Amino acid sequence: MSETGATTQDDAHEGGFRTDMAINTDRGGPRYGEFVDAVRLFMDRVRAAEPSEELVDRMIASLALMNDELGAVAIDEWNAPSGTRIDLPARGNITLPPYEVSKADETGVEATVRFSRFHLGGNNAAHGGYIGLAFDDLLGMTGALSSGKVTRTAYLTVNYRSITPLYRDLTVRTGIDRIDGRKIFVTATMHDGDRLCAEADGLFVALKPGQP
Ligand SMILES: CC(C)(COP(=O)(O)OP(=O)(O)OC[C@H]1O[C@@H](n2cnc3c(N)ncnc32)[C@H](O)[C@@H]1OP(=O)(O)O)[C@@H](O)C(=O)NCCC(=O)NCCSC(=O)Cc1ccccc1
């Protein structure tokens, strides 16, 4: 059994970045979003803390218990609530910075993203990698909505125009530049109020059936 809950045999990719993910907003129960928020707060606190040796000892013991409990209920990526709870910010996926989508159609997506201490790059500004991550995920959504297919990033260019602050609701807007067969050329901006923090352009390629 791997960390994904799949057996070693199942780990061989059977092909297809699946569109038939078993979306079910009941998985993890009604408090799953609260659980994700608590984990996010924990990651912020870890990033900010200067723990004593004794506190580190206690944390290791507490985490070992939690890791055992969660390890016992690990399942495959297609069914785990993390990433499939579309009722929650960023689909309940702690890998992503938390965002909430206010508009999503074949022309583009509008969302609010909020970075916190966990996403710190330096001097109170967000890490550029997390800004790219937010763009990649929301542009992946844009590619999928515009094509009706699963897409993968072929390239993503990010231009950092001004400091991206933590603890502010930032607006991300994505759009389609042009579509050429399987190629979907997309653009995105991230604003703090009226100020442009970052912008991106990318190519997302619609996958062929069975393509990984
Ligand atoms: C699938 C593909 C991107 C393309 O391969 P194939 O299917 O074999 O197709 P082919 O190579 O024939 O190209 C088709 C057309 O495209 C063109 N073109 C291609 N590349 C470039 C380029 N760089 N630059 C410019 N053009 C390029 C190419 O010339 C051709 O043009 P043509 O038709 O002659 O005019 C493959 O390279 C791959 O898997 N890469 C790794 C992707 C990966 O791991 N990404 C990260 C993880 S995904 C993620 O995180 C996002 C996400 C987030 C959330 C939710 C969902 C998603």
Q: Is 140 in the pocket of ligand 1 (CB under 6 A)?
A: yes
Closest Cα to atom 46, ligand 1: which residue?
153
8 A C-beta contact, residue 201 and residue 185: yes
| pLDDT for the residue 14 | 52
| pLDDT for the residue 204 | 98
| pLDDT for the residue 212 | 83
From ligand 1's centre to the CA of 206, what distance in Å? 8
pTM of the full structure: 0.93
Annotate 31-54 with b (16+ C-beta within 10 A) or e (fewer).
Answer: ebbebbeeebeeebeeeeeeeeee
Q: Is 91 in the pocket of ligand 1 (CB under 6 A)?
A: no
Tokens 């803390």: give the residue.
49
- For 18, phi and psi rounded to 5 degrees? -70, 140
Atom of ligand 1 nearest to the CA of 144: 56
| pLDDT for the residue 20 | 61
Tell which residue, 91, 97, 98, 94, has the closest CA to residue 144: 91
Closest Cα to atom 27, ligand 1: which residue?
154
If the chain, 212 residues long, is cut into consecutive pieces of 10 residues, what is the mean pLDDT of each piece?
47 54 85 98 98 98 98 93 94 97 97 98 97 98 94 97 98 98 98 98 93 84
Specify the 3-state DSSP secondary structure of 14: coil
The preferred substitution site among 205, 207, 208 for testing ligand 1, maximizing ligand atoms within 8 Å of CB, is 205
8 A C-beta contact, residue 97 and residue 135: no
The preferred substitution site among 152, 155, 172 for testing ligand 1, maximizing ligand atoms within 8 Å of CB, is 152
Tokens 């190629």: give the residue.
183
In angstroms, the CA 49 to CA 72 distance is 29
Q: Is 154 in the pocket of ligand 1 (CB under 6 A)?
A: yes
8 A C-beta contact, residue 109 and residue 138: yes
Sign of CA dihedral 51, 82, 31, 167: positive
**Predicted complex ipTM:** 0.96
Full 3-state SS string of 47-73: HHCCCCHHHHHHHHHHHHHHHHHHHCC
